[in-house]
Amino acid sequence: MEMAANMPKTIAVLLVEDNEDDAVLIERYLKAGGFAPAVRRVDNKEAMTAAFADQRWDVIICDHNMPRFNAPAALDVLKQLQLDIPFIIVSGTIDMDVAVAAMKAGAQDFVEKSNLARLCPAVSRELKDARDRRKRREAERSLRDREQTMRLVLDQTPIILWSTGSDLRYTSFLGRISERAGFQEADMLGQIVTGPVFTNGVDTHGTQDIMTYLERVLRGESAECDFGFADMIWHAHVEPLYDETKNVIGTIGISYDITEATQQREELEESERRLRYLSHRLLVAQEDERKRVAREIHDSVGQSLAAIKIRTQNVMNRIATNAPRTPATSLEAVLPVIQQTIIDVKRLQRDLHPAILDDFGIVAAIKSFAKNYRVTYPDIKVVTRLKVDEPDVPTALRPALFRIMQESMNNVAKHSGCDSLSIYLGKRKHTLVLEVTDNGCGFDFHQTQIESIQRGALGFVSMRERVQLSNGTFDVRSAAGEGTTITAAWPIGS
């Protein structure tokens, strides 16, 4: 190890010198100073330029004055090539002003030929300084690369990375997402966190909350907060920024846009609330429907069957006693009651599930419903525009489509006060569309929906859920005095 420490240091020396004897002398001094120099001598611009093309040089030693070349010209070559190589001037005599000018032009040192003992220390020092400069450049380049990578990441993610001093003024502010919120990096640097740029978009209460969080961070705590700014919702996580002695000198934080996530969470919560409400209403509606069907069976079918039983027993008693046969007591009197019972059963069946929907399809079912509707509500003109063929309507959609049409038209009869309505069923591009439009009084849909929920009516909520569950969209357009259009649409194949 000791031998290795004392071994000569190999260096590549570009010697700009026209005097061969001086060149030999300089090389001798370098060897005596502990170097193993690989020397190449040049004495003009062309040769010097070619030397740089051949290899990398550790140091340039240049005579100041030569017949065809000089140190300032050599320095110009170095500048044109943008090389950082220690440049030491060696001269027999040199004016001090000339030496200072050379140093300003880029030379690191100058040594008189009469005092070459200074050459090796100068070379050692400049080699060390060149290594330090190279390491610094590499560190700076690495830092720039990391900053560029960080900026690239920040530019492609919805986050802002920022830091402040202890006075809560921004010392950095990175992230392109800030531009969407109206922030510019140059505008933020040096500004206090709760300065005008920020407070113009946040209410006073929000500003006070943020200051409270940041004051906690300056005491050495972590903090997180949500705040609204520029129609966006942000989440900020802030940590204390320490110096090497563990003193808090500022804050460092990351803020990111949670607008979409917040909206999705709120929509999910609203959807869950509606689902719970619908589940409750479904149970209530199911029980109400059972009661209705039970009343219908009791009041119509049950009464009819009781009448049939009584009349049949009367006829049987007459037969058993050989009583005279009269029309009132004959089986013929039972037939009208049986016929009415059949009508009542068919009506119940149609209300529960229209058989025509299974037997003939949605187009026939809508026509049949519209025909019966005209009979029930003769004051309302019904226009049907059915622009689809039966195969155009997926079988799975037919029950939902029929129920939405049925509910819509029943609502029209109950609430609209109209004298005309139209039913449209057709294809628009790759979408199946059902529209029920009336010319009635119209209403405030949002307010009506709230009131319906409050009084426990399914109404539009039920229709919307039915459409959405079948992968469709539901829309109601209405205004006072302008009628109402209910639209349900489903994507279908081309």
3-class DSSP string for the chain:
CHHHHHCCEEEEEEEECCCHHHHHHHHHHHHHCCEEEEEEEECCHHHHHHHHHHCCCCEEEEECECCCCEHHHHHHHHHHCCCCCCEEEEECCCCHHHHHHHHHHCCCEEEEHHHHHHHHHHHHHHHHHHHHHHHHHHHHHHHHHHHHHHHHHHHCCCEEEEEEECCCEEEEEECCHHHHCCCCHHHHCCCECCCHHHHCCCCHHHHHHHHHHHHHHHCCCCEEEEEEECCEEEEEEEEEEECCCCCEEEEEEEEEECHHHHHHHHHHHHHHHHHHHHHHHHHHHHHHHHHHHHHHHHHHHHHHHHHHHHHHHHHHHHHHCCCCCCHHHCHHHHHHHHHHHHHHHHHHHHHHCCHHHHHCCHHHHHHHHHHHHHHHCCCCEEEEEECCCHHHCCHHHHHHHHHHHHHHHHHHHHHHCCCEEEEEEEEECCEEEEEEEECCCCCCHHHHHHHHHHCCCCHHHHHHHHHHHCCCEEEEEECCCCCEEEEEEEECCC
**Domain boundary residue among 309, 334, 352?**
352
Residue 118 lies in a domain: yes
Tell me if 479 is assigned to some domain.
yes
The verdict on residue 486 lying in a domain is yes
The predicted pLDDT at position 87 comes to: 92
pLDDT of amino acid 466: 81
How would you class 425 by CB atoms within 10 Å of its CB: exposed for 0-12, middle for 13-18, buried for 19 or more?
Answer: buried
pLDDT at 326: 62
Please report whether residue 337 resides in a domain. yes
Q: How far is CA 312 from CA 304, 333, 334, 336, in A?
A: 12, 9, 7, 13
- Choose the final residue of a domain: 217, 238, 257: 257
52-63 burial, b at 16+ Cβ within 10 Å, e below that, comes to: beeeebbbbbbb
Whether 145 maps to a domain, the answer reads no
Number of domains, the chain? 4
Give the domain-ending residue among 352, 382, 412.
352
Residue-number span of the structural domain to which 222 is assigned: 157-257
Same structural domain for residues 339 and 444? no
On whether both 132 and 169 belong to a single domain, the answer is no
441 with 468, same domain: the answer is: yes
Provide the pLDDT for residue 430.
87
Structure confidence at residue 380 (pLDDT)? 92
Q: Are 13 and 116 part of one and the same domain? A: yes
CATH number, domain at 56?
Answer: 3.40.50.2300
Q: Do 279 and 245 fall within a single domain? A: no
Q: Report the pLDDT value the prediction gives residue 3, as an integer from 0 to 100.
A: 34
Q: Indicate if 97 and 26 belong to the same structural domain.
A: yes
Q: Kindly tell me the sign of the dihedral angle through the C-alpha atoms of 263, 264, 266, 270.
A: positive
Same domain (yes/no): 228, 277: no
Give the model's pLDDT for residue 208.
Answer: 63
In a domain, 148, yes or no: no
Residue 441 and residue 347 share a domain? no
Q: What is the pLDDT of residue 306?
A: 72
Residue 15's pLDDT is what? 93
Output the domain CATH number for residue 441: 3.30.565.10
Say whether both 300 and 320 belong to one domain: yes
Check whether residue 391 and residue 436 sit in a common domain: yes
Residue 361 located in a structural domain: yes
Phi, psi of 235 (to 5 degrees): -120, 130
Residue 310 lies in a domain: yes
Residue by residue, pLDDT tens for the chain (494 residues) are 333 456 678 999 999 998 888 899 999 999 998 999 999 999 899 999 999 988 899 999 998 878 788 888 899 998 888 888 999 998 877 677 777 787 888 888 888 888 888 899 999 999 999 899 888 888 878 877 777 777 776 667 777 888 888 888 888 877 776 666 666 677 778 888 777 666 665 555 455 677 788 888 889 888 888 877 667 777 888 899 888 888 998 888 888 888 888 888 888 888 788 777 766 666 666 666 666 666 666 666 666 777 777 777 777 777 777 766 665 556 676 777 777 777 777 666 666 667 778 788 899 989 988 998 898 899 999 999 999 988 888 888 888 888 888 888 988 988 888 999 999 999 988 899 999 999 999 888 777 766 665 555 556 777 888 888 888 999 999 888 889 999 999 998 75
9 and 65 assigned to the same domain: yes
pLDDT given for residue 351 in this prediction: 64
- Do 26 and 161 share a domain, yes or no? no
